[in-house]
């Protein structure tokens, strides 16, 4: 039994990223506004409309579909709504479709975007809502002064209508300012209401289940703290850093209730509950926009907030800092 236990302990240590050992980071907690571009034009929904005394309420079988990503139209690469509208405007009013390529569930398909010319306003209608970017609110976890990189959010940006990862390729994060908070109640998450400042903090190079990662445009100042690896974390008192009023950083008391040691990457390594009555009175617990709030224990950075438990808004999960660092070290 002793040999088995020793082998397992060594195995766990061997899976820890070498780049995460003996590291210091600038701990953050600032609210950030996320502005990212899709890898094409996303069809977010559809609508009914009248055309030549007909109600157009459905689409042909070979038509594009809601949640498709249009990446090419009439042989032109499409990366914005403006580019797609330009291609449509060049089509003869006698033609009722354009050939497109779309990404559907990450697989490329050929399809048609059907057009309905409206003589009243001299434009084409398609019956689809489209967009080329996505916005959101989150929290900056850390700044790495060695690599001039950052980690934020603790989980991926998702498309609200699908719940799936938003396929983005360009974007940036800006310093945000919290103007108000909608409190969380049981089974109804609250949210930070924030607006953007003019201060761009960095670009977005990676969007995955462990957060947003990119290079910073400015050298961020703050407390430089050592990190703790998962085997150094224990149940008990800890704090998280977040903003719920303007840009004022708040240190919130929490209790780590469980540490789930992981031999492979996962986003729910830390289980915790909010014990700070100041935050509970103002927010009801964890709210949307707090994702990425850094978690500290014994003066070291151990992870970041990722999720709230809907049935108990004061309880949530955190990701180990080593998994976030693994990705910010790749850029």
Does residue 178 share a domain with residue 96? no
Report if residue 8 sits inside a domain: no
Spatial separation of the C-alpha atoms in residues 126 and 134, rounded to whole Å: 21
Report if residue 42 sits inside a domain: no
- Per-chain mean pLDDT for the chain: 91
Q: What is the pLDDT of residues 193-248, one digit of tens each?
A: 999 998 999 999 999 999 999 999 888 889 999 999 999 999 999 999 999 999 99
Range of the domain at 93: 48-126
Q: For residue 120, what is the domain's CATH number?
A: 2.30.42.10
CA nearest neighbour of 32 among 138, 114, 118, 104: 138
In the chain, the number of structural domains is: 2
Structure tokens given for 325: 């660092």
Structure tokens given for 217: 């445009």
Spatial separation of the C-alpha atoms in residues 71 and 81, rounded to whole Å: 11
Does residue 143 share a domain with residue 87? no
Report if residue 43 sits inside a domain: no
Q: What is the pLDDT of residues 278-297, one digit of tens each?
A: 999 999 999 999 999 999 99
* pLDDT band of 19, cuts 50, 70, 90: low
Q: For residue 30, what is the domain's CATH number?
A: 2.40.10.120
Q: What is the pLDDT of residues 108-132, one digit of tens each?
A: 999 999 999 988 888 899 999 999 9
Does residue 196 share a domain with residue 113? no
Active site residues per annotation: 155, 276, 291
pLDDT of residue 168: 84
Does residue 200 share a domain with residue 70? no
State the pTM of this model: 0.87
Does residue 253 share a domain with residue 164? yes
The owner of tokens 């708040």 is 250
CA nearest neighbour of 190 among 181, 202, 203, 201: 181
Does residue 199 share a domain with residue 269? yes
Mean pLDDT computed over 169-195: 96
Spatial separation of the C-alpha atoms in residues 150 and 14, rounded to whole Å: 25
């Amino acid at each position: 039994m002793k040999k088995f236990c020793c082998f397992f302990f060594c195995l766990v240590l061997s899976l820890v990223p070498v780049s995460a050992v003996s590291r210091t980071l600038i701990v953050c907690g600032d609210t950030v506004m996320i502005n990212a571009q899709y890898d094409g034009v996303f069809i977010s929904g559809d609508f009914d409309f009248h055309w030549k005394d007909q109600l157009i309420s459905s689409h042909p079988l070979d038509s594009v579909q809601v949640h498709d990503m249009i990446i090419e139209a009439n042989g032109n690469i499409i990366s914005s709504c403006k580019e797609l509208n330009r291609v449509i405007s060049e089509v003869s009013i006698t033609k009722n479709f354009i050939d497109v390529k779309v990404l559907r569930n990450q697989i490329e398909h050929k399809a048609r975007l059907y057009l309905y010319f409206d003589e009243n306003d001299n434009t084409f209608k398609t019956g689809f809502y489209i967009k080329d970017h996505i916005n959101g609110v989150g929290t900056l976890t850390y700044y790495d002064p060695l690599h001039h990189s950052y980690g934020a959010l603790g989980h991926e940006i998702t498309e609200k209508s699908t719940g799936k990862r938003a396929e983005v390729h360009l974007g940036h994060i800006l310093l945000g300012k919290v103007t108000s908070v909608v409190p969380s109640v049981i089974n109804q998450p609250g949210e930070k209401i924030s607006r953007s400042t003019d201060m761009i903090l960095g670009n977005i190079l990676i969007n995955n289940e462990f957060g947003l990662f990119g290079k910073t445009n400015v050298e961020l100042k703050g407390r430089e703290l050592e990190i703790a690896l998962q085997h150094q974390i224990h149940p008990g008192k800890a704090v998280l850093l977040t903003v719920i009023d303007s840009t004022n950083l708040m240190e919130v008391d929490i209790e780590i209730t469980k540490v789930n040691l992981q031999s492979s990457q996962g986003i729910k390594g830390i289980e915790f509950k909010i014990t700070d009555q100041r935050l509970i009175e103002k927010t009801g617990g964890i709210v949307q926009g707090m994702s990425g709030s850094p978690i500290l224990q014994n003066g070291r950075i151990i992870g970041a907030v990722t999720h709230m438990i809907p049935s108990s808004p004061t309880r949530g999960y955190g990701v180990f800092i080593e998994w976030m660092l693994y990705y910010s070290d790749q850029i």
